[in-house]
Amino acid sequence: MSSPVLVEVQGFGKNGLRIKLEKLRALDRWNEVASPVWFWLYSSARHDELWMPLDAAWELIDRQLVAHENYSDTTRGKAVIRIRPSDLPWGKYDAP
């Protein structure tokens, strides 16, 4: 029997995956104190999906494969990262 995980589900389009930094920090905390965190991501442009552990998102940030932006649709302009679809680990990870 596998151990429990938290799955964060998120969709994205041709312009890439956008994730708020505050969400990543909260998920990182959960990953440390409760159970492993995984993303299940769906691309509407590719009609495809992938699994990605939270650590893989941090690795993309560390390798500087993300764009740092701010949401312009809020008054506070929350910080986000944008990952290009081509930089995502398609087919690298199986479901947890």
Q: Per DSSP, which regions of the chain are E strands?
A: 6-12, 17-20, 37-43, 48-53, 66-70, 79-83
User: Residue 84's closest CA among 43, 26, 29, 30?
Assistant: 43
Task: Supply the pLDDT for residue 3.
Answer: 81
The domains of the chain are located at 8-87
Task: Supply the pLDDT for residue 1.
Answer: 42
User: Residue 20's closest CA among 56, 70, 58, 54?
Assistant: 70
pTM given for the model: 0.88
Segment among 25-29, 48-52, 71-75, 83-87 with least mean pLDDT = 71-75
Tokens representing 40 are 């299940």
- Give yes or no for residue 8 having a pLDDT over 80: yes
**Residues linked to residue 82 through DSSP beta bridges, in sequence order:** 18, 67
